[in-house]
Amino acid sequence: MRKIKIILASASERRKEILGLTGLEFSIEESGVEEEMPAGMPPGRLARLLSGQKAAAVAAREKDAIIIAADTFIIINGRYLGKAHDRAEAGSMLRALSGRSHLVITGYTVMDSSSGRRISATSSTKVYFRRFGKEEIDSYVKTGEPIGKAGAYAIQGLGAALVRKIEGDFFNVVGLPLSALLVTLKKFGIRVL
């Protein structure tokens, strides 16, 4: 029987923590793929494309493994928000999100590098922010938490103070829709329960 090597194609500590909740043994390998968001592509398709590129990049280096890759971004009024790269960008994103709802979309791909078989899917969660002003935004941005996060917040951290409610999978907002991923992994012979 084939011993299944599982690789999480991500440098995200949050994704590592979420997958770790399963008890599965896995290793980490960054894909090295630069995330580009082509204009005009539907959100679900874009999320699947980006996660698929990451999985394929790692699969090209690892010939006998199950690769898990994901990509998360936010949509508000048809505008895509990726990761905040600096304080100014984080502040701008948070001002746009204050008092409004937005959609968090995570595309994920599971790929068997030995057979080339892959399944890509998306998960969406609606997040409602309470209204907050410049002082709170500046204070939050100074913590450094928003940098490198999609939409400039971490719902599992201090960013939870900005959230009024969510509709959907909490783990999806963090970066890996665990329940949906586990259903997909079963199709590759990997069971947790």
Domain boundaries, the chain: 6-186
Is 86 marked active-site? Answer: no
pLDDT tens-digit profile of 129-170?
999 999 999 999 999 999 999 999 999 999 999 999 999 999
Beta bridge partners of 81: 74
CA 156 to chain centre: 13
CA torsion sign, 66 to 179 to 50 to 18? Answer: negative
Which comes out higher in pLDDT, residue 1 or 162?
Answer: 162
> Do 159 and 146 contact (CB within 8 A), yes or no?
yes
For residue range 97-114, list pLDDT tens digits in order. Answer: 999 999 999 999 999 999
Band of residue 2 on the pLDDT scale cut at 50, 70, 90: low
Residue 173 CA from chain centroid, whole number: 7
Q: Distance between CA atoms of 131 and 98, rounded to whole angstroms?
A: 5
pLDDT tens-digit profile of 53-78? 999 999 999 989 999 999 998 999 98
The CATH number of 6-186 is which of 3.90.950.10, 1.10.260.40, 3.10.20.600, 3.30.390.50?
3.90.950.10
- pLDDT tens column, 28-53: 999 988 777 667 788 899 999 999 99
Would you say 82 and 41 are in contact if contact means Cβ atoms under 8 Å apart? no
As given in the structure block, the two tokens for residue 127 are: 């997040």
Q: Which of 71, 86, 112, 169 is catalytic?
A: 71
